[in-house]
C-alpha cells in the first residue's frame, strides 16, 4: 500500500469516526481491511482502494469504518477507575442525587459491553443502598456488530478470565456450552444503542457519570475539545467524567477539572 492509498483510507476513518491513524499503522489497515475487500467481492486492498475512489457505496464505507474502529474491551479494565467509582463516585451520587433517586451513566464507545456490565455489577452489589432508586446505564458504539454482542451478554472463557473477579463469574454468569452469559438481571440494567461521538447526542439526555475511556487518545486536539464540550453539555454541575489513564482534559478543555487524588477522573468546572 502506497502513501496516497493509506492517506485516502485514513481520511475516511477520520471523517467518519474521528480516529487518527498513525503512519505506522499500515499493518493494521492491511490486516483489518482484507476481509472487507473479500466481503465486497474485491480481489485485494488495491481493489478496495479503487472502489473507494470510484463512487463507493455507503455499505463499503461503513464496513471500512467498522473494521478499523472495533476495539477490544474487558471487564474491570485497569481496575482503578472501577474502584474509584465504587469508593468515591457512588457515595457522592447517593448524596447529590438523593432528592430524585435517579442515576444515569453513559459508557461511550462501549465496544462489546464489558465496561457497562462491570458498572452494573458494582451497582448490583450495592443494591441495598440503592433500594427505591432508578438506575440507567447506556452503552453506545459505532459498530452494530459489537452492540449485538453486548446486548446478548455472551462471552468466551478467555473474555471472562480477563479482569472479571471469579466471585462475580460465579454469581452473575451462567455457562452455556463453552461460553458464559451474564445474568438477565444485569443485562436489564444496561441499554445499548448506536452512537458516534462526532455527532450530536442531545437526544440521549443528561448523565451524572460518563465513562469515555481510551477513546479520545485517538482523536486530534480540536476533535477532543469538541467532544468534551458536547459531553459537558449533557452533565449536571456534579457530573463526573472518567477518561483513560493516558488521557487528560488539561490543555484540551476548560469544561472539566481534575478531582484531586483520583487519577483520570474529572468533574464539571462551572
Rounded Cα–Cα distance for residues 18 and 140 (Å): 15
Q: What is the pLDDT of residues 55-90, one digit of tens each?
A: 788 888 888 888 877 677 899 999 999 999 999 999
Q: Tell me: pLDDT of 97 over 90.
A: yes
Give yes or no for a contact between 28 and 9, defined as CB atoms under 8 angstroms apart: no
Rounded Cα–Cα distance for residues 90 and 181 (Å): 26
CATH topology of domain 80-268: Rossmann fold (3.40.50)
Give yes or no for a contact between 268 and 255, defined as CB atoms under 8 angstroms apart: yes
Residue-range domain boundaries for the chain? 3-69, 80-268
User: How many Cβ atoms from other residues are within 10 Å of residue 222's Cβ?
Assistant: 9
CATH topology of domain 3-69: Chemotaxis Receptor Methyltransferase Cher; domain 1 (1.10.155)
**Cell, residue 266:** 474529572
80-268 and 3-69 share a CATH fold: no
Give yes or no for a contact between 208 and 106, defined as CB atoms under 8 angstroms apart: no
Lowest mean pLDDT, pick from 40-44, 78-82, 189-193, 252-256 = 40-44
> pTM (2 decimals)?
0.85
Q: What share of the chain is helix, strand, coil (3-state, %, to 5)?
A: 45, 15, 35
Kind plus residue range of the DSSP H or E element containing 139 = strand 134-141
Q: What is the pLDDT of residues 236-266, one digit of tens each?
A: 999 999 999 889 999 999 999 999 999 999 9
Amino acid at each position: 500500500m502506497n502513501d496516497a492509498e493509506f492517506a485516502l483510507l485514513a481520511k475516511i476513518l477520520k471523517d467518519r469516526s474521528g480516529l487518527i491513524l498513525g503512519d505506522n499503522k499500515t499493518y493494521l489497515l492491511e490486516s483489518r481491511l482484507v476481509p472487507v475487500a473479500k466481503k465486497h467481492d474485491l480481489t485485494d486492498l488495491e481493489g478496495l482502494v479503487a472502489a473507494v475512489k470510484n463512487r463507493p457505496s455507503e455499505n463499503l464505507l461503513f464496513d471500512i469504518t467498522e473494521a478499523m474502529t472495533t476495539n477490544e474491551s474487558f471487564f474491570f479494565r485497569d481496575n482503578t477507575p472501577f474502584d474509584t467509582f465504587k469508593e468515591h463516585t457512588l457515595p457522592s451520587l447517593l448524596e447529590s442525587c438523593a432528592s430524585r433517586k435517579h442515576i444515569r451513566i453513559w459508557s461511550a464507545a462501549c465496544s462489546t459491553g464489558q465496561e457497562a456490565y462491570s458498572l452494573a455489577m458494582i451497582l448490583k452489589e450495592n443494591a441495598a443502598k440503592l433500594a427505591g432508586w432508578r438506575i440507567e446505564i447506556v452503552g453506545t458504539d459505532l459498530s452494530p456488530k459489537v452492540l449485538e454482542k453486548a446486548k446478548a451478554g455472551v462471552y468466551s472463557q478467555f473474555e471472562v478470565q480477563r479482569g472479571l473477579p471469579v466471585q462475580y463469574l460465579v454469581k452473575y454468569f451462567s455457562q452455556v456450552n463453552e461460553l458464559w452469559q451474564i445474568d438477565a438481571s444485569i443485562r436489564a440494567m444496561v441499554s445499548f444503542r448506536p452512537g458516534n461521538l462526532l455527532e450530536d447526542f442531545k437526544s440521549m439526555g443528561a448523565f451524572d457519570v460518563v465513562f469515555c475511556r481510551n477513546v479520545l487518545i485517538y482523536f486530534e486536539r480540536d476533535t477532543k475539545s469538541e467532544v468534551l464540550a458536547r459531553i459537558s453539555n449533557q452533565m449536571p454541575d456534579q457530573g463526573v467524567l472518567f477518561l483513560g489513564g493516558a488521557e487528560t482534559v488539561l490543555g484540551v478543555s476548560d469544561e472539566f477539572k481534575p478531582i484531586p487524588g483520583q487519577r483520570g477522573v474529572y468533574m464539571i468546572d462551572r
